[in-house]
């Protein structure tokens, strides 16, 4: 292959790899204002801006649904504290059994 063809092939390969990578990452594109009852929330994780377009707190429901929220929302911060305290209670309960 000649140099221009090699460059075109390399560029096409790189673009395909980038598209595959970004399509395989699940990102929040917006924030929900809907509140979920605490007993229905199983866990959360933090989405950082960089790989995804926005910062978000992603709450996972007991049914496995992922819902994105604004990390600055006071309700979301209370939910995170509640889940952290729930986890500490579970850890303490497990250590009592050992």
50 pLDDT tier (thresholds 50, 70, 90): confident
> Does any domain span residue 8?
no
Single out the residue of 45, 43, 52, 44 nearest to residue 24, CA to CA.
52
Please write the tens of the pLDDT for every residue from 57-86.
999 999 999 999 999 999 999 999 999 998
* Domain extent for 84: 27-97
Q: How many domains does the chain have?
A: 1
Residue 81 neighbours by CB distance under 10 Å: 10
Is there a domain that residue 20 lies in?
A: no
Q: Tell whether pTM > 0.85.
A: no
Residue at 19 is within a domain:
no
Residue 72 sits in a domain of what CATH number? 2.40.50.40
Q: Is residue 17 part of a domain?
A: no
Q: Is residue 67 part of a domain?
A: yes
List 69's β-bridge partners, or say none: 57
């Amino acid at each position: 292959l000649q140099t221009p063809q090699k460059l075109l092939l390399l560029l096409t390969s790189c673009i395909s790899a980038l598209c595959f990578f970004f399509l395989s990452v699940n990102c929040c594109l917006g924030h929900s204002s809907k509140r979920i009852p605490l007993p229905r929330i199983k866990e959360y994780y933090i989405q950082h801006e960089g790989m995804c377009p926005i910062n978000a707190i992603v709450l996972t429901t007991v049914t496995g649904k992922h819902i994105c929220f604004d990390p600055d929302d006071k309700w979301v911060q209370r939910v995170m504290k509640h889940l952290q305290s729930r986890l500490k209670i579970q850890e303490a309960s497990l250590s009592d059994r050992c």
